[in-house]
């Protein structure tokens, strides 16, 4: 196995958004941070490191360059960080360091406040741990997390389609924690994943699902942590880079005899709610019949139109949907849809 993940090959695809799903310890994070330093030394371009929550910023920025500063190629430089910025300076004994801004630290949860910050010459935006482990009870995806990330890219880059401004590149790094996540949902990544590179959405999203190869066996036998999780469900994620598929208990395709009840517009997506009277299930789909006479309820302001009913008129209906949810009578076409619709339910207090 190579010492580090091969970023040179991945970067050669030059995708708008690149997602790397790889086992822990293969050097995904280390290698990309090293590339960001090389970028700055070559052309002065900067990076943005993104966290999900504001209280994670200091934990990420502390020691951000520790291992990198030990590399011989950066022996002439020193680094420092705070919770908002990263700096680099030449080592010059006896002189005060001339600190230069090399990167920014931001959080998705503070995206609105971020609009007042100034960002300059940003080339790469990095979001590590983009997929949340299913066993993590203390963190959840933000409502419309993918849209929030897109807004941050726009805020940071101020890219214009009619100019030759720097085209930002976005990198999502993750382990194979949960196949039902907002990034797979946004780009239509299915459950039929195989190791290797694959393009999505008109070659704007590149997914590299990394084959652990020899690394899996080496870590399983050569490290304490590897021996602890070997031959367990956790080991399939940590060592073999395999996704643990969510429960299919609530996955059931809508039957043809189900009748359309109403639609919901939320965060740019339309959801159809259908009733199968034969068994009492409510089916959630991504399709709404054309020219339907049934109401389409708008939950988010950007989805409002003259044809949609305001959200406050939905309260009684959603109370009933919530009741059906707690009775276990809601079904979804697939696992990703179940995850997506969680944002809708969360607006009505269902977590």
Side-chain-facing half-sphere of 190: CA atoms under 13 Å: 3
In the structure, what pLDDT confidence band is assigned to residue 58 with cuts at 50, 70 and 90?
A: very high
Gap between the Cα atoms of 285 and 187, Å rounded = 17
Beta strands at 77-81 and 85-90: parallel, antiparallel or unpaired: antiparallel
Gap between the Cα atoms of 242 and 42, Å rounded = 37
The pLDDT of residue 1 is above 50: no
In the structure, what pLDDT confidence band is assigned to residue 2 with cuts at 50, 70 and 90?
A: very low
Domain segments of the chain as ranges = 7-238, 259-346
Q: Where are the alpha helices (DSSP H) in 135-199?
A: 145-157, 182-187
Q: According to the model, what pLDDT value does residue 306 have?
A: 43
Q: 163: helix, coil or strand?
A: coil
The pLDDT of residue 283 is above 70: yes
Q: According to the model, what pLDDT value does residue 16 have?
A: 97
Q: Which residues does residue 265 pair with via DSSP β-bridges, in sequence order?
A: 270, 298
Gap between the Cα atoms of 232 and 227, Å rounded = 10
Q: According to the model, what pLDDT value does residue 4 have?
A: 72
pLDDT in tens, 204-218: 999 999 988 755 556
Please name the fold of domain 7-238.
Rossmann fold (3.40.50)
Q: According to the model, what pLDDT value does residue 220 have?
A: 56
pLDDT in tens, 298-348: 776 655 554 455 555 556 777 788 888 888 999 998 877 887 787 788 777
Gap between the Cα atoms of 297 and 312, Å rounded = 9
């Amino acid at each position: 196995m190579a010492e580090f993940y091969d970023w040179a090959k991945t970067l050669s695809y030059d995708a708008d958004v690149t997602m790397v799903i790889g086992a822990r310890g293969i050097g995904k994070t280390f290698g990309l941070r090293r590339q960001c330093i090389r970028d700055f030394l070559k052309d002065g371009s900067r990076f943005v490191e993104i966290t999900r929550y504001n209280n994670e910023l200091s934990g990420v920025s502390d020691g951000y360059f520790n291992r990198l500063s030990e590399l011989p190629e950066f022996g002439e430089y020193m680094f420092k960080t705070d919770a908002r910025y990263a700096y680099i300076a030449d080592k010059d004994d006896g002189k005060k360091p001339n600190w230069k801004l090399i990167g920014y630290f931001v959080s998705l949860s503070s995206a609105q406040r971020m609009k007042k910050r100034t960002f300059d010459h940003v080339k790469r935006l990095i979001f590590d741990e983009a997929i949340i482990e299913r066993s993590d009870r203390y963190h959840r995806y933000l409502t419309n997390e993918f849209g929030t990330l897109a807004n941050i890219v726009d805020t940071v880059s101020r890219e214009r389609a009619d100019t030759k401004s720097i085209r930002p590149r976005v990198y999502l790094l993750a382990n194979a924690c949960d196949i039902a996540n907002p990034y797979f949902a946004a780009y239509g990544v299915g459950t039929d994943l195989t190791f290797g590179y694959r393009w999505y959405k008109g070659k704007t999203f590149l997914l590299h699902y990394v084959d652990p190869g020899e690394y899996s066996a080496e870590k399983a036998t050569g490290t304490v942590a590897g021996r602890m999780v070997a031959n367990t469900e956790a080991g399939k994620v940590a060592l073999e880079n395999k996704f643990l598929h969510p429960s299919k208990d609530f996955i059931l395709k809508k039957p043809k005899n189900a009748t359309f009840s109403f639609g919901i517009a939320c965060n740019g997506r339309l959801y159809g709610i259908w009733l199968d009277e034969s068994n009492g299930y409510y089916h959630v789909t991504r399709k709404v019949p054309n020219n339907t006479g049934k109401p389409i309820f708008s939950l988010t302001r950007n989805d409002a139109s003259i044809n949609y009913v305001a959200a406050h008129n939905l309260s009684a209906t959603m109370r009933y949907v919530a009741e059906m949810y707690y009775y276990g009578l809601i079904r979804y076409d697939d696992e990703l849809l179940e995850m997506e619709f969680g944002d809708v339910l969360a607006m009505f207090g269902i977590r």
